[in-house]
Amino acid sequence: MTRPVKRHVEMEALFGADFLPISRKGRTPAPAAAAPVAAKAPAPKKSASSTFPYDWEKDWPSDFQTFRTEVLDCRKCGLCSTRTQVVFGTGPLQTPLMFVGEAPGEDEDRKGEPFVGRAGQLLTTTLKKFGIERSRVYIANILKCRPPGNRDPQEDEIETCTPWLIEQISLIQPQVIVTLGNFATKFVLQTQTGITRMRGSVYPWHGRTVIPTFHPAAILRGGGEKGRQFGELQEDFALIKRTLAEPEPPPPPPPVTSLVELEREEQPAIADDQLELF
């Protein structure tokens, strides 16, 4: 699938048919390849035990399945002895939007899914308010196992666990990554600057965009919907939506060396006796 077609299909899945920043009247027909791909999208399937209503797993390519199995068995750090289970992450692989949180809490550890407690409910309702179904985005964490008593992730745990996240990002290839809170923002953007100063802006990141915002748990601690941070969270979600609607950036120009070669090819050969003139 070409990149524009992949993006078209993903955006339609995320926002429905109205995501396009152009009027439907003047719309040119979707590229021919889009139809069969869209038609292949898995049918919604309710699961009694999961908050995640789509059985995306059955459509995962085998390399992703293998990768997931490896992560679920991970024993690379001490958290494996205190966790109930690894919280791998949830969401479709074909999505333009990925959220990265900090680490599973008690509810997530029990259920095996990220953001299913109170902070998760706030994330889900905020997404909904901006017209995005939670089941259409990918959600993961910096750590895949719960730190005991919900303590902060330790540096060695982050170092050991984050290669899994990097692998996940490179398999999913989201257009926009939203980092929730300090731990995710500092790791992804490799910065020491805190979230209060980082939020509200977009950051280019390996051909993609990172948008940092507050962790929903911090919003809850700061007074929930009555707190100042809640308004800023809404601003950041509006920014996420605007960023997703922006047209695909043009491909990068060719490297300078090949431009020089191009010019050489186009120059007519100069006869030896003419060289005297220069």
Would you tell me which residues interact with ligand URA (CB under 6 A)?
101-105, 108, 114-115, 117, 119-120, 141, 217
Query: Closest separation between CB of residue 129 and ligand URA, Å?
Result: 19
User: Residue 106 or 225: which CB sits closer to ligand URA?
Assistant: 106
User: Residue 91 or 120: which CB sits closer to ligand URA?
Assistant: 120
- Using the CB atoms, write b or e for 211-235: b if 16+ within 10 Å: bbbbbbbbbbeeeeeebebbebbee
Query: Closest separation between CB of residue 120 and ligand URA, Å?
Result: 6
Taking residue 178's Cβ as centre, other Cβ atoms within 10 Å add up to: 26
> Which residue is nearest to ligand URA, using beta carbons?
101
Query: Closest separation between CB of residue 216 and ligand URA, Å?
Result: 7
Residues 6+ apart with CB under 8 A from 237: 126, 127, 129, 130, 213
Q: Are 97 and 133 in contact (CB under 8 A)?
A: no
CA nearest to 248, candidates 6, 34, 1: 6
Rounded CA gap, 205 and 101, in Å?
17
Residues 6+ apart with CB under 8 A from 92: 13, 54, 56, 135, 136, 138
CA nearest to 240, candidates 217, 218, 195, 208: 208
Helices (H) and strands (E) in the chain, counts: 11, 5
Query: Closest separation between CB of residue 192 and ligand URA, Å?
Result: 20
User: Residue 90 or 209: which CB sits closer to ligand URA?
Assistant: 90
User: Residue 6 or 118: which CB sits closer to ligand URA?
Assistant: 118
Alpha-carbon distances of 209 from 166, 189, 221, 264, rounded to whole Å? 15, 11, 28, 37
Query: Closest separation between CB of residue 233 and ligand URA, Å?
Result: 15
Query: Closest separation between CB of residue 66 and ligand URA, Å?
Result: 24
User: Residue 9 or 119: which CB sits closer to ligand URA?
Assistant: 119
User: Residue 8 or 215: which CB sits closer to ligand URA?
Assistant: 215
